[in-house]
Structure 1
Amino acid sequence: MTKRIASELNPNIGVLALGNLLRTDEGVGIHLLEGLREHLPLDVETLDGATSGLELLDFIERHNYLIVLDAVDAGQAPGQIIQWTNDQVPRFTTKKLSLHQMGFAEVLFWGEFMGISPDEIIVVGIQPQSLDWGIELTETIQKSVPKAIEIVLNYIENWKL
């Protein structure tokens, strides 16, 4: 019988939401987190990272498995769900994936430079339709939220197996 290490038996999972609730679809990561909270296992830690930068490294360092929720400009049709895993997640880019002062890609780059990196990282994002001022998601993005929540829950369930 193969001996499993503690992190495999009880994976340390974090869900990090990014975004700006004042810029319509840019807040989709936060909206996703709110929709997820009632469905998440109690041992999954969540953080509303809003538009934070390097201070997110403390949260990232505490988790073997990390899911990041955000609006992602991947040049797709509005409402398209974007999934990046591990090496697909950009670590540095000159084009911002979101409107944060320091993009999350740069946070990951500096984290890896300092030896901070989860075993697995997943970005679940939705291509925004609008980044105008406003606190409501556009209808197109609202329609994508339930499927994105389902995707996140499937990743967590698979990590817990």
Structure 2
Amino acid sequence: MKNLVSSLLTLEKEEKILIVGLGNTILKDEGVGVYIAKKLSSLKLPTRVKIVECGTDLLRIMNHYSQQEKVIIIDAVRGGKEPGTIYQFDEEELLNIRAQTRSVHQISVSSSIKLLKKLSSSWSKARVMLIGIEPKIIDYGNDLSPEIKISADRIIRKIHDILQKNNLLV
């Protein structure tokens, strides 16, 4: 989680941060991003840090969260590695993701970000990163696989610790 740590530890004073959980909660591990966002939303955060559960449509947040300077997207990502593997992509990597590492949504996270940045001048300035977790099971069901839950809880703890270290918990 080196990229996450370095990204969040370089927070600018008063920088607006958006953490987005993507996923479909009725398809088991596909809901991991929403699971993480729900857990993080219980934290008491200053108004400049927003947590949002976005479902499967990243584009729907365009107008509601257009002033964020740093955006961290969390989602299930198929990369062909062991279930529970955590991937981290900075913006350049995210915008160049090929088919071998991809989101399981109809429109990819990469395509959504490209579109957001083209359509909105405020989104064009935002720095974006993706944290992905390799899913084990994408089939009907509401619970996460044990390996996926372990990885999700690691991410939650890491984000919590970084926010706390930066005095962003109130």
Query: What is the identity, as a one-letter code, of the residue corresponding to 1:148?
Result: I
TM-score by length of 2: 0.77
Query: What is the identity, as a one-letter code, of the residue corresponding to 1:84?
Result: F
Question: Which of 21, 33, 36 is matched with 1:32 structurally?
Answer: 36
Structure 2 CA distance for partners of 1:151 and 1:96, relative to 1, 3 Å: same
CA-CA distance at 1:63 after TM superposition: 0.5
CA-CA distance at 1:49 after TM superposition: 0.8
Once the two structures are aligned, what percentage of the paired residues are identical? 24
Residue 133 of structure 2: aligned partner: 126
Question: Is 2:84 the partner of 1:79?
Answer: yes
Counterpart-to-counterpart distance in 2, 1:152 and 1:34: 13
Query: What is the identity, as a one-letter code, of the residue corresponding to 2:59?
Result: L
- Residues 61-72 of structure 1 correspond to what in structure 2 (within 5 A)? 61-72=66-77
Confirm or deny: 8 A CA contact 2:102 2:108 kept in the other structure: yes
Unaligned runs of 5+ in 2: 1-10
Question: Is 2:156 the partner of 1:149?
Answer: yes
- Larger mean CA deviation between 118-127 and 63-72 belongs to 118-127
Unaligned runs of 5+ in 1: 1-6
Structure 2 CA distance for partners of 1:155 and 1:84, relative to 1, 3 Å: farther
- Calculate the aligned-residue CA RMSD, in Å: 2.6
Structure 2 CA distance for partners of 1:68 and 1:140, relative to 1, 3 Å: same
Counterpart-to-counterpart distance in 2, 1:155 and 1:24: 28
